[in-house]
Amino acid sequence: MKHDDMLLNYLRLLLLPFSLIYGLAITLRKKLYDWGIMSSVKFDLPIICVGNLAVGGSGKTPTTEYLIRLLTNNKIAVLSRGYGRKTKGFIIADGNATAETIGDEPLQYYHKFEDITVAVCEDRIKGIENLKENHDLIILDDAYQHRAVRAGLNILLFEFRKLGTLQFLLPAGNLRDVFSSRKRADVLLVTKSPVPLLHVAQQASINELQPNENQKVLHSYLKYGELRHLYHDDSRSLDSIKDYEIFLLTGIANPAPLIEELEKYSKTIKHEEFPDHYAFKIDDIKKFLSSFDAGTKKEKIIITTEKDSKRLKAAGFKDLLVNLPVYFLPIEVDLFEEDKITFDELILNYVKSNRRNR
């Protein structure tokens, strides 16, 4: 066992009593809502919540984008807390929006989809009140634990490779909710599944999640797009960077699937990893570029994620990066054939049967 792993396990042991206290607190809060002592507000338009039990890394952003594409014939608002932003209150994204004003994920939705409204508000009730009159439906990004709102349809995500592994509650682990909370969800969506998905693996995740009779367990996987330059209108395929020296820069919760994908094209990957939603500093980028300059291969490239690209486009970085081969790799979610039919039908029927007459 590596020294770092031993240290991490020792730290987990020290933090377990605090995880126990945290678990008791959230279980009590859950019961107060279940018993109706703490109240939830229900709204008269379709509200779809996309959430998870862990902190980050389960694919909420590409799943939300999948829903936006599926529901494109509706007037959609996406409401997020705007994690990592330096502002407060209700804000609707506009041409002046930056990762600092609304957060990196909402900024990604805003740049990607022209015909939707993207808003942020830490108080989801207030956010919905401000959006409900002018929209057909609202997608709540990462609001499963926000019990003050009773969403009409809850989609709860579980990362395939984490199912069946021992996970701890915060602060010893990265679970922010107890496993039994999954029983509130309508759809249990297993994300980042391997392709092809063997029937035995599919059955294993269903056995692990033990769904109620009315819960669907469905499986999705990631699709990688073409590399796109951070500043220029230039794209290239992953095949075009075979055997390149890759300098990977990430500030996301779980870069493992991305590294796995890039390893199909190159064995030389130098990874600079930062925490999720990290606000990059000029010195971080300068240090990273020094390592890039020191790269020994003639053919080399800088790759980052689409989410990180939103923060890297902040003022101050362009002069350092604009003339370099710096690309981001877009990802999309898709579902396996039968699951896709079930999922799409369930979503479309929910929206259709709960649409109000405005």
Per mean pLDDT, which range of 83-87, 138-142, 194-198, 311-315 is the poorest?
311-315
Tens-place pLDDT, residues 178-199: 999 999 999 999 999 999 999 9
For residues 241 and 262, the answer to whether their CB atoms sit within 8 Å is: no
pLDDT score recorded for residue 1: 44
Which tens digit of pLDDT belongs to each residue from 123-177? Answer: 999 999 999 999 999 999 999 999 999 999 999 999 999 998 889 999 999 999 9
Q: Is the pLDDT of residue 56 over 90?
A: no
Biggest alpha carbon distance in the chain?
65
The SS3 assignment for 236 reads: strand
Query: What pLDDT, on the 0 to 100 scale, is given for residue 90?
Result: 98
Kindly write down the DSSP assignment for every residue of 197-226, as one continuous string: --HHHHHHHHHHH---TT-EEEEEEEEE--
In this structure, how many other beta carbons lie within 10 angstroms of the beta carbon of residue 208? 15
Residue 272: closest CA among 298, 294, 292 = 292
Say which residues have a Cβ less than 8 Å from residue 128's Cβ, sequence separation at least 6. Answer: 43, 47, 79, 138, 149
| Average pLDDT for the chain | 94
CA-CA distance, 346 to 352, in Å (whole number)? 10
Tell me, letter by letter, the H, E, C secondary structure of 71-138. CCCCCEEEEECCCCCCCCCCEECCCCCCHHHHCHHHHHHHHHCCCCEEEECCCHHHHHHHHHHHCCEE
pLDDT exceeds 80 at position 105:
yes
pLDDT at 4: 66
Residue whose C-alpha is closest to residue 64's, from 113, 102, 121, 103 = 113
Give the strand pairing for 235-236 and 227-229: antiparallel
Q: Is 48 helix (H, G, I), strand (E, B) or coil?
A: strand
User: Looking at residues 113-129, what average pLDDT do you find?
Assistant: 97
- Rounded CA-CA distance 57/50 in Å is 13
- The string of DSSP codes covering 126-185 is HHHHHHGGG-SEEEEES-TT-TTB--SEEEEEEEGGGTTS---BTTTSSB-S-GGGGGG-
> 357 pLDDT band (50/70/90 cuts)?
low
Q: Quick one: tokens of 155? A: 């989609």
Q: CA 20 → CA 146, 178, 327, distances in Å?
A: 21, 11, 43
**The model scores a pTM over 0.85:** yes
pLDDT of residue 315: 67
What share of the chain has pLDDT > 90, as a percent? 91
Interior CA angle at 280 toward 276 and 284, to 5°?
A: 115
Tokens 């877009």 map to which residue?
330
**Structural domains of the chain, with CATH:** 47-223+334-354 (3.40.50.300), 227-329 (3.40.50)
DSSP per residue over 291-349, as a string? Answer: HHHT--SSSEEEEEEHHHHHHHTSTTSHHHHTTS-EEEE-EEEEE-HHHHHHHHHHHHH
